[in-house]
Structure 1
Amino acid sequence: MSRSGLRDAAVLLLGGLVGAGGLYAAQEGPSALPTRALALYAGLTGGDGHAHAEAPKAAAAADDHTDGDGHDHDKPRAAAPKEDGHGESGHDHGAEEDDGLDEEDDDGHGHDAPKAGRAGDDGHGHGDGGEDGHGHSAELPEGVVELSDAKVKAAGVSLAAAGPAALREELQLNGVVQANQEATVQVTPRFPGVVRTLSRRLGDEVRKGDLLAVVESNQSLTAYDLKAPISGVVTERQASLGEYVSEQKPAFVVTDLSTLWVDFSVYRRDLGKVAVGGTVRIDPEDGGEPIEAKISYLSPMGAVDTQSAVARAVIPNDGRFRPGLFATGAVATAEQQAPLAVSLDAIQSLEGREVVFVREGDRFEARDVRLGRRDARVVEVLSGLKTGETYAARNSFVVKAELAKGSASHEH
């Protein structure tokens, strides 16, 4: 409804009230009629042309304004509300809001709503967790990460103790794992004949005296046994069921793989650096730790095509090495002692600093270190570490990654 419509409705209502003045005057008094009419008009329009739902309350309030002091309260000044819609209270809150949000209004209203901007300077709703708004409990110091023994083991992180070590100048060699020919036996039939029974296949493990095959002799027409002369593995089988075999060709080859040869190629310029009895560090390149062995043989003959000679080491084998696979070797040509050193794998770069992760209980601490001489395995530590301290050696990058994850989780 428009403002003019509301005013017309109010005038009609006032006319009705005046028409009923006789009855109303007898009950309320003559002076009350104009005051009530004006109050009702004000309650209907709110003084600003808008209809208000609390018109009955405005009319009732007009009754209370008739005092016994004899004054006429029918003047529009007393009943007309302000344009802020508060009726007779007459308070202009629009002006007071400009004075600031942190103070209560002067009209006596209790403004208990949370004030905007009181949550903190950074706009976060902070609880009891501290000035940064995070409820952190028992935060770790900077550069420290917590990893249980189970997690360390699952991640493949190896631990070592810092201490003295030998720094070596080394000659790098390439080699091939070979079967130990001194532990390899060819099984040849004693008499020519036909294979009637086969008891073992290629790759089978055998014990000394185990039956390999039964051969029927062509000369005597009697059968005889072929047995394993040593314990080992059947690495070759040149016989099939019903096939003719003879002493001209081995029917089986049995090899003891408990020891193996590693043959390295040594070029002519390096032959003077390698000698029988010298130590060679062998890496099978399977991700495990290298092993050390002695050079047992240096070939007196060279190969025409490669212009190199063979240097051989005999190694024990627990199944880790397999004949035919490559391996690398390192022969020490000079050696110096370092009073304190760690594995080269232990060194990590953290924000431009070289650190070692030191183990203390279930925690790793990123310890700044100053490094000195190094070789292909270890590096000398000049400061930042003490002898006997436990540190993360192989796969130490896993600890660095865990530290980075922990740091990222604390950032906004």
Structure 2
Amino acid sequence: MTRLSAAFALALALALAACGGQPASEQGHADEHAAAGDHAEEAGGHSEEERHADGGGEHTDEQPSTTIPADVAERAGIEVQPVGPGTIADEHEVQGLLTPIEGRVAQVTARFPGPIHALRANVGDTVRAGQPLATIESNLSLSNYTVSSPIDGVVTARNASLGGLADEGAPLFEIADLSRLWVDLHIFGADAQHIRAGVPVTVTRMSDGKTVETVLERVLPGMATASQSTVARATIDNADGLWRPGSAVKARITVEQQPVELMVPLSALQTMNGEEVVFVRVGEAYQAQPVEVGQRDGQRVEILSGLNEGDQVVVEESYLIKADIEKEGASHEH
């Protein structure tokens, strides 16, 4: 089932509940809850209205909540995970380009001038060191000689044509070893002052979202003239040849990681009545729990109060829970 249809199933189930059309089993649960409430009041307990008036602590019925059957929640893509310790990272999102590594690019030239009789490689071909690339007839000796690749790599340029003349020292081919590439990242302003070599970097290919983990090797001393940015450089493995020089990439540079006692994914946070909340699942009930948040990064947020370690918090499709609770609140007002 797609997410859209799952969400529709959730909305339908909730609509039935609002109209009093819930299945007999769910109606039975409602009757049991009502009876339990009557027994609690008879025993000297408080009604739901009194509990709201009293204030109270965390994880009580005071907070808005809703009940969603497990099968409906699963179809809607609602997922939970326990609250626990973790790390919050000081991260910087930057962009850059992939470039060949200096010293791993070779220019193949003609030793003697003369006509080109054979060409044995095209742009994009993978070649080995010593592999013949062209045959040229020397104007000096009138004998043929072979031009070979000096390194393993890929042909990135060919400046020769069959039957053409090769000048002495003229570049015929460019061969690049692309098994590893530089990632040149552009850092602006104050960020350049505290980004140092040795910190982790996650590089993402913008064309398809593929990521690779590496380490920042150096921050270059000069500035890129065109962009007036500082260039930070890392190296990535490209043994599969899928990372291409000249491609734009984005990267996340992690400057520091701070351990925290409790944290949740940012996807768990929602805002209700002007305060930040998460939704705690107990059985099939989902309760909106106000939280005080601390540090955050691009993926996680620290929880200072409002949750206990091990609480099952909604981390996927939390907006569906919010919408359902708000819908129930609106129906009660009417």
TM-based fold match above 0.5: yes
Tell me, yes or no, if structure 1 residue 170 matches structure 2 residue 91. Answer: yes
* Inter-partner Cα distance in structure 2 for 1:269 and 1:350: 32
User: How far did residue 252 of structure 1 move?
Assistant: 1.3
CA offsets 1:31-72 (integer angstroms, 9 cap, x no match): xxxxxxxxxxxxxxxxxxxxxxxxxxxxxxxxxxxxxxxxxx
Secondary structure at the counterpart of residue 271 of structure 1: helix
Question: Which of these residues, 227, 241, 257, is aligned with residue 178 of structure 2?
Answer: 257
* Structure with the larger RCO, 1 or 2 (CA within 8 Å, 6+ apart): 2
In the alignment, does 2:309 pair up with 1:379? no
1:348 Cα offset (Å): 5.9
Equivalent in the alignment of 1:142: 68
Greater Rg by CA: 1
Shift of the alpha carbon at 1:142? 0.8
State the Cα distance separating 1:383 from its structure 2 match.
5.4
1:227–1:384 CA distance, 2 compared to 1 (3 A): farther
Quote the sequence identity (%).
Answer: 31
The question of whether the paired residues in 2 share the 8 Å contact of 1:368 and 1:384 is answered with no
Mapping 1:5-404, distance limit 5 Å:
142=68, 144=70, 145=72, 147=74, 163-267=84-188, 269-286=190-207, 288=209, 290-317=211-238, 318-344=240-266, 346-347=267-268, 349=270, 354-355=277-278, 370=291, 371-381=293-303, 386=309, 396-397=316-317
Q: Distance in 2 between matches of 1:273 and 1:343?
A: 26
- How far does residue 185 in structure 1 lie from its aligned partner after superposition? 2.0
| Residues 322 and 339 of structure 1, relative CA distance in 2, 3 Å threshold | farther
Is the strand fraction higher in 1 or 2? Answer: 2
The Cα of 1:307 is off from its aligned counterpart by 3.1
Could you tell me whether the CA contact under 8 Å between 2:80 and 2:312 is conserved in 1?
no
Structure 2: tracts of 5 or more residues without a match: 1-18, 28-66, 328-334
Which whole-Å CA distance do the structure 2 matches of 1:165 and 1:221 have between them? 74
Rounded to whole Å, the distance in 2 between the matches of 1:349 and 1:383 is: 14
* Equivalent-residue separation in structure 2 for 1:210 and 1:226 (angstroms): 9
Shift of residue 261, structure 1, vs aligned partner: 0.9
Aligned length: 264
Please report the TM-score for the alignment, with normalisation by the length of structure 1. Answer: 0.50
Could you tell me which amino acid in structure 2 is paired with residue 142 of structure 1? I
Give 1:243 deviation, angstroms.
Answer: 1.6
SS at match of 1:272: helix
| SS state at 1:181 partner | coil
Q: Which amino acid aligns with 2:68?
A: E
Distance 1:356 1:320 in 2: 41
- Over 3 Å counting, the alpha-carbon distance change for 1:400 and 1:271 in structure 2 is closer
Corresponding residue SS for 1:248: coil
RMSD after superposition: 4.4
Q: How far, CA to CA, are the matches of 1:357 and 1:242 in structure 2?
A: 76
Which 5+ residue runs of structure 1 have no aligned equivalent?
1-130
